[in-house]
Every structure is written in structure tokens, then in C-alpha cells.
Structure 1
Amino acid sequence: MTALIRALDAGNAGGSVRFSADVRGRSWGYTAEGTVNLGTEDLRGTVKMPNETWDLVVLDGRVLAHGAGEEDWIRLDPADTDESVSLLAQMLGGLSEVDPRRVVARIAEAGKLGDHSRKPRPAGEEQYSVDLDLSRLSGQVLGAPAADTRPTAYPIDKAELDAWIDQSDRLTYYNARIRNAAGLLEVSCAYSGWGDAVRIKAT
């Protein structure tokens, strides 16, 4: 776990990082790619679903989205009375959980080394298998609420992940499996291009 904690410090060093994520549920899924600003926690990316594509900005905690063919950016609120808007806001807003600092923070908060093994990664990277103790986890885990009391939500039964750390103590890839009564949610994310800070804004 020591190397994983060092990865949190490496992520907090600042700058930005590119991400490429794949999220799969039992009957749905989407891919996303973009940039996380490690200095401000802002995020900008593109989310591709089977029938639509969204440009997304998470800026100062606000979720802003721009659909294909639309002229204006719209603000999405998870508390919106329109259920379709609320669900879209939760799904797109949850993408901010791919911030590598948040992933490592979840591990530090509630992780313990496990013995499950996943796909191989390049030489020089160290793999860590981690089980998440949900009783110690607050807030969200990789975009899925750990203790959600909404009637339509399914609390998480089990969450585990495999993380790969490079020789500079940076998170390069993770694969997470989150199980609840609705089935299995699998999230994979690769990181690259750790570099200078960028200013993220909706335009």
C-alpha cells in the first residue's frame, strides 16, 4: 500500500493528465476521454454513448454539457426534477471520479490488498489488487455512490480494483468492478501525458 500512497503524492504534484475511460454496466456503457487539471480538479472531456455524444466540463463543481448539434452549453443538476436530466447529470458528473488523485484517495481511505488478478500491463509497472471496505468509504467510489438512499438506487455490495503504478509513482491504469443488485459495473481507465497545467473552461 505504500506505493499507492506515494501515487497520491505524485498526483498532487500538479499539472494535468489525459485519461481514456471505458464504463460498462449490465445493459449500457460509454467511453470517455479528456483531461483532468490536477491543480484545480476541473475536467474536460468527450463522452460517447451508443446513440449520442456529449462534450463535458466539470468546472468548480458544476457539470456543464454540450450535446452534438446543440449551440449552447447547459448546466446539469443531479437534483433536477426532470428524472432524465438528473440521471444524465449523475452519470456525466460521476466521470470526475476518474481523477487519478480521487482513485488513489479511495484506496487510501478504504482499501486493503486483495489477491485477485487482472490483465497484464507493460514491464516496469507494479500491479496492486485492492478490495474496498465499503463501511470505511464515504461519498462516491469511481462514480457510483457508496451509500445512496434514493429509492431507485442500488447500494453497492462489493467493490474491488486493480491498479498499476509506474516507476515515477504515478497511476497509469486501473480496472474496477463494482457489484450491486443491478449487476456488475466495470470501469477501466488509462492515464498518459502527465504535463503542464491547462485552463479548462466551457466555450
Structure 2
Amino acid sequence: MRMLDTIEKRLKCCRAATGTSPQEIVNYVQQKEMDLSYTTYTRWESGGTVPARRIDVINHIADFFSKNGLKVEGGWIMTGEGFPPQFTEYTELDEDTLFILASRQMPKAELVQVGGTYGEPYVSFGEFCIVSTDISIESNNNKLCYVREKNGLLIGLVKIVDEDHITINDIKCKKVDIIECRRVKWIQKK
């Protein structure tokens, strides 16, 4: 299930990101001589449907968010398709730099770059991963993990087999040989 799979969630997300109120949005749209009431807007944020003929209003709402620091297109707000919102201060940055900045904002996480083929098929050479700082095997059971053990490094699905062993990508490892087992939170696919 996608996180922003409804217009309701997309509107709320954009409003939260810009720190604005429904009334500010309505006032902005009304200043553009468009018809939008507070009741109608809040209904849209509460799960009401937005008729396709109201795309002009949605485009003004997108313009409002853009003027408040979040570059977003009306088509994305309406359908969820197209380029997702981006903070305007970062619009000139390339994808790799944005990923690095995102990794710095995530609590209890750090960035690693895959330098070998040990992550395939999950992660390919040169891709970046944001990994948890939690190194516990138990809390990472049945999760995609970055595992450093005495014989090297593996990235794959960790499964606890018994009290003394785990498997990662169907390779059996002794728990005592594992230095760290950290959940992969996010992969930047090339």
C-alpha cells in the first residue's frame, strides 16, 4: 500500500510540509478569483472526492504550496502520478545529493554505499543504502539487512534459524560470527 495513495493524504502531506492551514489555502485560491469554500477544501482533506473539472483549483493549490517552499504539480496532487513534491531549496540538487541529505535527516540511521556484489539481487554495485544504527539480530529478523560478519559483508533477508544461527540469502551464519546486523531502511536504485 502506497503512503500517499489518496488526494486526501497528498493534500495533508503538502500542507504539513509547508506548515500552512486550510484557511490560508482557501484565502489564496479565492484571491485568484476561484470558487473554493473552506467547507469544500476541508471535505477534500477528509476523504471527499475532487471532481476532475476542479483541476484548475488544484493547480492554484499547487501554486500556493510552491510559493510556500514546496514545489509540487497539480497533476500529482490530483492523481499521485508524476514528479513528487520537492522542497524548492533543493530543486537544483541532483538525486544522489538529495538522497545523502535525506539520510542525514533520518534518526538512528546512516548511509552506506555498496562496493561489491554481495548485495545482489537486493542492492547493486554503487547503490546507496540508508541503514539503521540498531545492530540487533533479533529486532531485524525477517527484514532486509546489511550484515557484517567475520568472513565479510552480506545484504539480504535475515532469518533466525535457531538460538545459534541465522540465514541471509540462504547462507547459514553463526550468530557469534556476526559483528553487526542492521536493517536497510531505504535503497537508492540506479
Asked which structure has the greater RCO (Cα within 8 Å, sep 6+), the reply is 1
Q: TM-score, normalised by structure 1?
A: 0.22
Q: TM-score, normalised by structure 2?
A: 0.23
Q: Which structure has the highest helix share of the two?
A: 2
Q: Which structure has the highest strand share of the two?
A: 1
Larger-gyration structure (1/2): 2
